[in-house]
């Protein structure tokens, strides 16, 4: 997700020809719809004991391209005529039919940018809530889990599609690559809601998901190169491996030097936002650096959170980030749901029948290929291995990136492309309730530190818990 390079030029082009007042009105209406859907969905899921993030995703599905067409995006193959928000503006605000396409394009880009900003802030917040020492303590296990979680589904998916369905090599490799992804945003938020983010299981899942993201970017680069010219650019792959490793290691090393300077700067500032503004400057700069070296911006934000978690200002900073995250994070989850087209699930459409069969295979491989990762954890007696495997299941926005790149390249047939989308939908939606099931309710308050034999109180981030007042 090269956010900065991909979205800003399009946004600039769109807003040049659109009436800025109409764009603002469209964005405001979009946010009203998004926040309403997120709260209704979150509250309904909370009442039946499911994580609120699932409600936000489902709320997005209801208002998106699958049902109500309130929030639709051009990349989904829709146009301004399919947007009920555009129709409402034509009725109430005097938007002309001629100006509607430009306003629709600009509104969609603004919402997409807010969505990406939301996931960046989410990962920054998760970094602030993740103890770096604990994350490094499970580093070896996380590497093993991530590696198995990439190799097993990739190999099984690719070989299965080629042998069972007769799919040619490059499309099969692309589909297999889509199975390797893990949505760190969705998993980490559910873990936070369950009070399991700082448990041994949570730290292994989070560490593995971060490594998974890095490996996923490398895999995506390889298959995209294959799709483009049938050959792998070895130099580009080596560059990605080196840059990803250098970035993450450098961020951790730099953090030990930067921590004290950050606190000193914050103590000297006296105006409003003296702590949170410098923190976001640092987070956004790290996200930018990750983006320009062809990593995901969310990895840079997560690294920034890990660095600032080590400072004395951690608890105060967490409290100040909460309301900002509450405003932007729901935009991300609702937008992911809104872009999900459940029309590919309709068996009455002939092309979907083939897609359903392939999707069943891909979903099976996607689930089993991640669940088995928990079996590879070693040296942790009594750890919940099933929970670790389940935590790696959701593909979420990362899987959608693979599907989008594959569709844009033209390498995927419609049935195979639909099957990948269905795999992303199912794995994204089943993971939150499964995580709640595999983590016993009675254990969400405390976790056993297997190394020291002491009980650790879990710091449950209040911004992400679904409470009566949330």
Query: Which residues does 307 contact at the CB level (< 8 Å), separation at least 6?
Result: 127, 132, 251, 252, 254, 255, 258, 259, 282, 286
pLDDT of residue 3 exceeding 80, the answer is no
* Token pair 């299941």 in the structure block, residue: 393
Contact 92, 73 (CB under 8 A): no
Higher pLDDT, 139 or 364: 364
Query: Which residues does 190 contact at the CB level (< 8 Å), separation at least 6?
Result: 51, 53, 431, 432, 435, 436
pLDDT of residue 169 exceeding 50, the answer is yes
Q: Which pLDDT score, from 0 to 100, does residue 466 have?
A: 38
CA of residue 411 relative to chain centroid, distance: 24
Contact 352, 344 (CB under 8 A): yes
446 forms bridges with which residues in the sheet? 457
Q: Which pLDDT score, from 0 to 100, does residue 441 have?
A: 59
Query: What would the mean pLDDT of 302-329 be, rounded to a whole number?
Result: 89
Q: Which pLDDT score, from 0 to 100, does residue 408 have?
A: 62
Q: Which pLDDT score, from 0 to 100, does residue 227 have?
A: 66
Contact 136, 368 (CB under 8 A): no
* Token pair 């689930």 in the structure block, residue: 367
Specify which of 233-237, 392-396, 414-418, 455-459 reaches the highest per-range mean pLDDT: 392-396
Q: Which pLDDT score, from 0 to 100, does residue 356 have?
A: 86
Query: What would the mean pLDDT of 432-453 be, rounded to a whole number?
Result: 60
169 forms bridges with which residues in the sheet? none
**Domains along the chain with CATH numbers:** 20-110 (no CATH), 117-438 (1.20.1530.20)
How far is it, in rounded angstroms, from Cα 352 to Cα 358? 10
Query: What would the mean pLDDT of 86-109 be, rounded to a whole number?
Result: 93
Higher pLDDT, 460 or 14: 14
Contact 317, 308 (CB under 8 A): yes
Tell me: the pLDDT tens digits for 142-152? 888 989 999 99
Residue 456, SS3 per DSSP = strand
pLDDT of residue 13 exceeding 80, the answer is no
**Distances in Å between the alpha carbon of 422 and those of 156, 306, 331, 345, 396?**
18, 34, 22, 7, 11
Gyration radius of the chain's alpha carbons: 22
Q: Which pLDDT score, from 0 to 100, does residue 276 have?
A: 93
pLDDT of residue 56 exceeding 80, the answer is yes
Q: Which pLDDT score, from 0 to 100, does residue 233 have?
A: 64
How far is it, in rounded angstroms, from Cα 429 to Cα 434? 9
Share of the chain above pLDDT 90, in %: 29
Contact 18, 446 (CB under 8 A): no
Higher pLDDT, 187 or 1: 187
Compute the Cα dihedral for 26, 31, 32, 36 and give only its sign: positive
Q: Which pLDDT score, from 0 to 100, does residue 404 have?
A: 64
pLDDT of residue 306 exceeding 50, the answer is yes
Query: What would the mean pLDDT of 62-87 be, rounded to a whole number?
Result: 88
**Distances in Å between the alpha carbon of 129 and those of 196, 197, 208, 423?**
11, 8, 16, 30
Q: Which pLDDT score, from 0 to 100, does residue 30 have?
A: 96
Tell me: the pLDDT tens digits for 412-424? 777 888 788 888 8
- Nearest C-alpha neighbor of 176 from the set 390, 407, 416, 425: 416
Compute the Cα dihedral for 459, 462, 466, 468 and give only its sign: positive
Residue-level length of the chain: 470
Q: Which pLDDT score, from 0 to 100, does residue 333 have?
A: 87
């Amino acid at each position: 997700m090269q956010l900065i390079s991909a979205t800003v030029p399009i946004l600039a082009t769109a807003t040049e020809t659109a009436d800025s007042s109409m764009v603002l009105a469209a964005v405001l209406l979009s946010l009203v719809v998004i926040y309403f859907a997120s709260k209704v969905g979150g509250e309904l899921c909370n009442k039946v004991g499911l994580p609120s993030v699932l409600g936000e995703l489902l709320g997005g599905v209801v208002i998106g391209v699958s049902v109500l067409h309130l929030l639709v995006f051009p990349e989904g193959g829709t146009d301004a005529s399919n947007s009920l928000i555009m129709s409402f503006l034509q009725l109430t605000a005097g938007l002309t039919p001629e100006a509607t396409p430009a306003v629709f394009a600009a509104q969609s880009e603004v919402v997409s940018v807010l969505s990406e900003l939301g996931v960046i802030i989410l990962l920054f917040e998760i970094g602030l809530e993740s103890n770096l020492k604990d994350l490094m303590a499970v580093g070896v296990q996380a590497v093993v889990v991530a590696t198995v979680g990439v190799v097993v589904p990739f190999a099984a998916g690719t070989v299965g599609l080629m042998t069972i369905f007769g799919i040619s090599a490059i499309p099969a490799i692309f589909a297999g690559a889509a199975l390797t992804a893990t949505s760190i945003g969705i998993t980490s938020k559910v873990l936070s809601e369950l009070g399991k983010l700082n448990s041994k299981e949570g730290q292994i899942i989070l560490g593995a998901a971060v490594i998974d993201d890095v490996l996923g970017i490398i895999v995506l680069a390889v298959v995209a190169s294959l799709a483009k010219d049938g050959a792998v650019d070895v130099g580009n792959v080596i560059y990605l491996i080196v840059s990803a490793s250098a970035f993450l290691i450098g961020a951790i090393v730099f953090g030990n030097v930067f921590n004290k300077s950050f606190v000193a700067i914050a103590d000297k500032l006296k105006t409003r936002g003296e702590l949170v503004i410098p923190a976001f400057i640092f987070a956004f700069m790290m996200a930018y650096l990750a983006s320009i070296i062809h990593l995901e911006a969310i990895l840079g934000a997560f690294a920034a959170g890990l660095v600032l978690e080590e400072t004395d200002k951690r608890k105060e900073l967490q409290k100040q980030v909460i309301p900002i995250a509450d405003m932007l994070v729901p935009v991300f989850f609702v937008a992911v749901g809104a872009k999900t087209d459940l029309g590919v699930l309709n068996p009455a459409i002939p092309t979907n029948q083939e897609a359903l069969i392939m999707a069943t295979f891909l979903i099976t491989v996607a689930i089993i290929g991640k669940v088995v990762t928990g079996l590879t954890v070693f040296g942790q007696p009594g750890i919940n291995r099933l929970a670790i495997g389940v935590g790696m299941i959701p593909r979420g926005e990362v899987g959608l990136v693979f599907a989008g790149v594959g569709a844009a390249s033209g390498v995927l047939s419609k049935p195979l492309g639909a099957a990948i989308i269905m795999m992303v939908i199912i794995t994204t939606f089943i993971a939150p309730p499964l995580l709640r099931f595999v983590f016993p309710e009675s254990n969400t308050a405390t976790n056993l530190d297997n190394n020291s034999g002491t009980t650790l109180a879990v710091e449950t981030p209040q911004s992400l818990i679904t409470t009566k007042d949330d």
